[in-house]
Every structure is written in structure tokens, then in C-alpha cells.
Amino acid sequence: MKQIITAAVLALAVSPGYAQDLSGWSDIFSPRQVLTAIVQYGIFAVRTQTNMTYSGLSIDPVENRATIYDVVITPVLGRSDFATCHFSMDTISIKGSPLNESSTIRIGIEVSGYKVSPACILQPPLSDLAALRLEKLEMPRMSIDLRYDLPSGQASVLAYTIVEGLGSVTVDADFHYLAAGPARGLSDIPVPIASLSSMSFQIEDGGLWNRVSPLLSEQFTNPATGPARVASILNSFRPTILGEAPSLASSQGFDAFAQSVQTAAEKFLVSPKQLLITTGFDPADPVLLDLTAYDTNPGQLFADLRPVVSVLPVSAKRAASLDKLRAAITNYRSLNDAERREIGLALLTGEGAPRNLELAIELLSGLPTAGEPDTSFQIAQALASRTPARAYSYAIQASIDGAVGATALLDEIEPKLDAEAIFGAQKGLDDLTQDMPNSSGEMRELAARYFDGRNGRSYVLASYWARLAAAAGDRASLYLLNDIEDRMAALGATSAWQKLEVPIADRAVADWVSLDILGQLESDQ
């Protein structure tokens, strides 16, 4: 990170943007200027490896996106004519996380109009493509999308490429946990810690089979003989792949894979549209990948991943029943609670049904949350950037239910709200139903839980219990009252809070006297 920042500052100093009329240091280090400097430094770095020209550069600091137009690259350093082998792209777009995003890292790279000159096809490593009778190589679109959730360590990777006249390739991977990990042995290279939930590799034919099939023997392309021939060749490599004494899991995984290859070949040779390789284990039970073991023991891959080949399209991860979806649209009350939750989550996430937030919320709102703490949390997450005021009440409910990440979401949403929205969504003095605690420490804990959100956030109830605990001699509760005032100042709600404090203070004094709280505490000692 230090090197990147240093490089950005150096690039900024030599960039044309630096010569503009900047009014001060705040302009020099504005998001647009820093992002521009980083991109310019990246261009200098690319030019240490290859020749590169482009026609324009667009920077959008709000989206955190940089787009380079009309790029031409030649792999031969030192040439300036680009007359022989070169690559061209209409645009290269690189998009990062929004600058106000603190919990998710997002990196998206998209290339449009990628073209390889004919001269490149005749040179290694692309020369093998000449056998496919390709006179040109064009990719209308290539994209890679990486999303990493910092709190959980979960990650997803989606890569997609269209090749004109051949087809498309899609790689989709979900990780339950992903981290760099420590270096092992004598190497100083970190070994990734990767717990995989699912992975798929899909090829859709767009002319590739018509080019490949003439190069193959008829015994492979004939539906009557091809599947068995492919399976036979694959099984001939079984001892090499699995070794002399394979584990039962490796053997079973390989045999299931070989059988799925034969079954998929039977269908593909009749109707060559697409092939799909997916992991065969349950996504709810992620597999910890041993990346160092696979080099010496490739059979372990079959035990861990249990790959399956098919010709079916990639199905939605949460496929929604059409009958249940139809009932959700017409009369959702005909669905039971489990069905409402199933269809509601599909509509909320857009996986298994077209995304429809309002219908999803209608289905999910009012459902029992016992044992299902994430329902309110997922609604709050979906609404947080669109309508934070609506999201806030769901985030409070999620914190009451004990959803992981709910208090962090409360802290993320609150600065977007005014005082009226914050206090209106929280519990007030009318919600005081708690029996009197037996000690000042228990009062302090109640106050702290209402303050940080572990009881469903309520600054009113936090202040009430902190006043009583402090009056009983708990010094830490005095500090908590100061923390509440600091929070109000940070939220710009000091004026509204001062008005709200009056009934809180009056209720605390009245209860202190009428309930003889100090006497009760002393009698419990």
C-alpha cells in the first residue's frame, strides 16, 4: 500500500492534471486527482512490458471507475508502427468499490471490442488457432468481477468471455472464506486459504463445434460411438491421475466424473449447445482446498470437488417454484411461513426469481424471526443504499434477533438519517417493560446493550438505564452518558437530543424516588 500511495503521488506530480489551476492541497488530493494519478502510473507500468497507445481517459470518482478508450497494444517492445501483431480494444473499464463502501471490496474489469490482428494468429501461442480456420479473433466483451466481503471473508468471482464465431465461456466461483494465508516451507509466497462453496465452468457453443468436429475422428463425433470412446480414454488415465493407492473418496469422485462425461457426451453429440462442469458437493458444506497437495496428488481434486459434467444450463442457486411464485403474486397468504420466506428471499436477492424488493418485503415482513435472524438483516441490507430510513427499522429488528453484522449496519445507516428518523424508529420510554435489575452493573449492561445495538438500538433507553446506574454509584455509566452525547454530536442531533433528554431525566428521577431503587439494590446485597 505504501508503494502504491507513493507511486500515485509521483504520478500526480508529473501528470498534466497537476498543471491545472488547483486552489489548494484539498484539490491536489481530491479523489479524482488521486484516482487519475494511480491510472497514469499504471499506464507507465504497462509500458515497461509492452507498447501501448490510447485515445482518451475518463475518470469517475463517484463510481470509482476509470475507462480507457481505443487502446492499441503490441507485444513487441520498441516497435512503434503496430503494423504486424497487435491487439486493440474499444474500451477498458476498471471499477472499484464506491469510496464510501467500508465492508466490501469490489473489483470489476470489462473489455469491449477486443480484436487480435491476423498476424498474431500465425504466431505462437495463438498459432494453434489457425487449424480452426480462423482469419480473425474478436471478443465483443470480456469481464471479470471480484467481490470480497471483509467482515465474513466470503468472496465471489465471475468471469465471462464472448469469442466471435466460437462461443462464450463463463467461470463462476463462490468462496465461503478466502484469505492470503501464511507462507509455507522455504517459499516466501503466501499460500491462499480457500474454503469453496461452489464453482462452475460453462462453455456455450457459438460455432466452435463446427470448426472442431471436422478435425476429429468419426468415432468421437458419432453419437453412437463417441461417448463410450471418450469415457474409455478418460478411464485409461485413471491410474496416472489417482496414483497406485487412491483413497475411496478419490476413486468415487473420479468414477462419478467419468460417468457424467459419458452421459453429457451422449446428449451433447445429439445437440451440441453447451457443456457445464460444476462442483458436486453441497454448497452448505464448503470444502477447504489444499492447494499445495493437488500438485502431487491430483486425485484429491476429485475427492474434494466431486466434479460433474452436464449439458444443462446453470440453474439458479435458489430456484423458486413457479406455483409458489404465482401464489406470491396473487395471494401470498395462501403460502405458509416457510414458503413465504423461501419465495421472499428469492425475490429479495434476485436468485431464482426476478428481483422485486417491494414484493419480497411484503412476503417477509411480519414473519416470525425466532431462529431466522437474517431475514430482517437481508431486508435492511437491500434497502440501506436506496431508502435508509426504511432500512433502519429492519436493522434494529435484526439486532434484536441477534443477526451477525446488524450493529455494524446500524452504524452505517445512522449518519444518513436525520434525528427524527433515528429516534422515531427506536424504542422510547413507553416501551419500558424491563423488570428492575438487581444491581447497578446489570443496569449498566442494559444501557450499554441499548447503546451499541445488541438489544435493538435505543438511545432513550440507554440514557434512562445509564442515569439510574450512575445514581447508584456506577461510574462507568457516567462515561456512557458522555458517549451518548458524543454520538449525538457526531450525528448532528444534539439539539433534538437535548429536547428528548428532558422527559428521560424526569422519568429517571421519578422512578428513582417512587420505586426506591437504591433501597431495592441495597436489600438485594
Most confident of the following: 42-46, 343-347, 499-503: 499-503
Q: Is the pLDDT of residue 259 over 90?
A: yes
Report pLDDT for 112.
93
What are the start-end ranges of the E strands in 121-223?
Answer: 137-149, 155-163, 167-179, 193-205
Closest CA to 199 of 232, 172, 222: 172
Burial grade of 137 (CB within 10 A; 0-12, 13-18, 19 or more):
buried
DSSP lists the bridge partners of residue 93 as 67, 110
Q: Which pLDDT tens digit goes with each residue over 413-445?
A: 999 999 999 999 999 999 888 778 888 888 999
**What percent of the chain stands above pLDDT 90?**
37
With residue 401 as reference, give the H or E element that holds it: helix 388-401
CATH 1.25.40: which residues of the chain?
322-418
Stretch 399-419: mean pLDDT = 88
Helices (H), 222-356: 226-236, 238-242, 248-270, 299-305, 322-331, 337-349
Q: Please tell me the least confidently modeled range out of 18-27, 95-104, 172-181, 480-489.
A: 18-27
Residue 45 has pLDDT above 90, yes or no: no
Share of the chain above pLDDT 70, in %: 87
pLDDT confidence of residue 424:
93
pLDDT (average), residues 322-351 = 86
If one looks up domain 322-418 in CATH, what number appears? 1.25.40
pLDDT of residue 18: 42
Quote the mean pLDDT of the chain. 84
How far is the C-alpha of 37 from the C-alpha of 31, rounded, in Å?
10
CB of 412 closer than 8 Å to CB of 385:
no
Q: Is the pTM for the entire model greater than 0.75?
A: no
Angle CA 305–205–214, to nearest 5: 110
Peptide bond into 388 cis (omega under 30): no
Banded pLDDT at 66 (limits 50, 70, 90): confident
The Cβ of residue 9 has, within 10 Å, a number of other Cβ atoms equal to 15
Contact 174, 196 (CB under 8 A): yes
Q: How large is the average pLDDT for residues 238-244?
A: 87
Q: What is the pLDDT of residue 418?
A: 92
Of 78-87, 307-316, 398-407, the least confident? 78-87
Mark 175-211 as b/e (b = at least 16 C-beta within 10 Å).
Answer: bbbbeeeeeeeeeeeeeebbbbbbbbbbbbbbebbee
Q: What is the SS3 assignment for 73?
A: strand
